[in-house]
């Protein structure tokens, strides 16, 4: 079984998310799709996690039940939608919004205690990539610090920052090298690849040994493109 996840980022409204999810549910029910699907809408477009064939997850949440954290959502808000799936550590939250490794570990620890399924993202910048393979591997290892790699509801997503939203995916050789290294640490933890995944390359990426699924951005925002991706899942 593969894991196919769509990260809407700051795209879609509640209305368009409802239409997307209705079409996705119809497709999956007709196909009896054997793989795990997760959809991560923006906070204002969250829907109740009550679909039969896929999960609704949150792109972000603060490590609190509720409180004085302007602009954030906490456990209380997620529970209203019966959501038990969360993205943590996406490079855009780290790089653009300044989330530190310490904040990532605090989020992880809090939502682990709440028994959430956690999609945890790691990935290197182009600057680090240019320093060579060992620098890349050391950096990725540093992003695993503070994470309980024995947590049974952890899913790791490797997303090289230089491949996100650029249209340039890592080469099959690069993905194989990184996933082989990470699998030595992760043992049975599912390991996804993300970074310019699209209908034209998803099949060959998923056929790489050690790739247990994909986390998809822009190519999954239109339902037609996402369904085309699903049609290419081996």
Stretch (H or E) spanning 215: strand 213-216
| 12 catalytic per annotation | no
Contact residues for 138 (Cβ-Cβ < 8 A; gap 6+): none
**Catalytic residue of the set 12, 90, 117, 124:** 90
β-bridge mates for residue 118, sequence order: 86, 154
Contact residues for 155 (Cβ-Cβ < 8 A; gap 6+): 3, 117, 118, 119, 120, 189, 190, 192, 213
Stretch (H or E) spanning 55: strand 55-56
Exposure b/e, 16-40, CB count within 10 A at least 16 = b: ebeebbeebeebbeeeebeebbbbb
**10 Å Cβ neighbour count for 88?**
28
| 90 catalytic per annotation | yes
**Catalytic residue of the set 92, 99, 159, 179:** 159
Single out the residue of 163, 65, 63, 81 nearest to residue 121, CA to CA.
163
Single out the residue of 125, 213, 130, 127 nearest to residue 163, CA to CA.
125
Are the beta carbons of 213 and 192 closer than 8 angstroms? yes
List residues with catalytic annotation: 90, 159
């Amino acid at each position: 079984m593969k894991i196919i996840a769509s990260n809407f980022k700051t795209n879609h409204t509640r209305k368009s998310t409802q239409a997307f999810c209705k079409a996705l549910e119809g497709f999956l029910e007709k196909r009896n799709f054997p793989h795990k699907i997760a959809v991560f809408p923006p906070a204002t477009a969250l829907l109740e996690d009550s679909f039969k064939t896929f999960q609704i997850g949150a792109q972000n949440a603060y490590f609190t039940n509720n409180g004085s954290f302007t602009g954030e959502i906490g456990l209380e808000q997620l529970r209203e939608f019966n959501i038990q799936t969360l993205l943590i550590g996406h490079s855009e939250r780290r790089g653009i919004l300044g989330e530190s490794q310490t904040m990532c570990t605090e989020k992880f620890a809090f939502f682990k205690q709440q028994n959430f399924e956690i999609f945890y993202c790691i990935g290197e910048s182009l600057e680090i990539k240019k320093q060579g393979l060992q620098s890349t591997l050391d950096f990725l290892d540093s992003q695993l610090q503070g994470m309980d790699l024995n947590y049974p509801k952890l899913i790791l997503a490797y997303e090289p920052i230089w491949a996100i939203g650029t249209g340039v995916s890592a080469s099959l050789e690069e993905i194989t090298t990184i996933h082989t290294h990470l699998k030595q640490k992760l043992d049975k933890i599912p390991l996804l690849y993300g970074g310019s995944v699209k209908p034209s390359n998803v099949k060959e990426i998923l056929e790489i040994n050690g790739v247990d699924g994909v986390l998809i951005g822009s190519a999954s925002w239109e339902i037609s493109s996402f369904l085309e991706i699903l049609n290419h899942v081996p």
